[in-house]
Structure 1
Amino acid sequence: MARSGDAADEAGSGKAGGAPPKPRDARAERLAAQLKANLKRRKEQARGRAAGEDEAG
């Protein structure tokens, strides 16, 4: 029963303010780069929509 908390600790290892875990292979690195680029693009789109709403209103 002592091991039941181990999985929860691993799942919560990406704590706020901490460094993200290092990718283990080239595929993981490519995926991380794509996710980062996608997040950046989506944030820029959201900012553009918010700015457009401010001008229209």
Structure 2
Amino acid sequence: MTDDTPSRKTTPEATREERLAAALRANLTRRKAQVRARSAGDQNNETAETGPEE
């Protein structure tokens, strides 16, 4: 690396990359929450199909 390289990119391309990275993180978090909700829903459906345990 050279000494004149800034520690943080300030070009429009860098801000775009940061925005895209943040969007990817938010999307991943949302998808993980959906999977958790679906798996919790599946567990509830199994109980509903078999009826409550007596």
Percent identical among aligned pairs is 11
Structure 1 match to 2:35: 49
Q: Distance in 2 between matches of 1:23 and 1:36?
A: 16
Q: Structure 1-normalised TM-score? A: 0.58
Q: Deviations over 1:21-50 (max 9, x none)?
A: 864111110000000011111110000000
Q: Distance in 2 between matches of 1:51 and 1:23?
A: 38
CA distance in 2, matches of 1:47, 1:33: 21
Distance 2:34 2:40 in 1: 10
1:27 aligns with 2:13: yes
Moved over 4 A (4+): none
Let me know the Cα RMSD of the aligned residues: 1.5
Query: In the comparison of the two structures, how many residue pairs are matched?
Result: 37
TM value normalised by structure 2: 0.61
**Amino acid paired to 2:10:** R
Unmatched runs of 5 consecutive residues or more in structure 1? 1-20
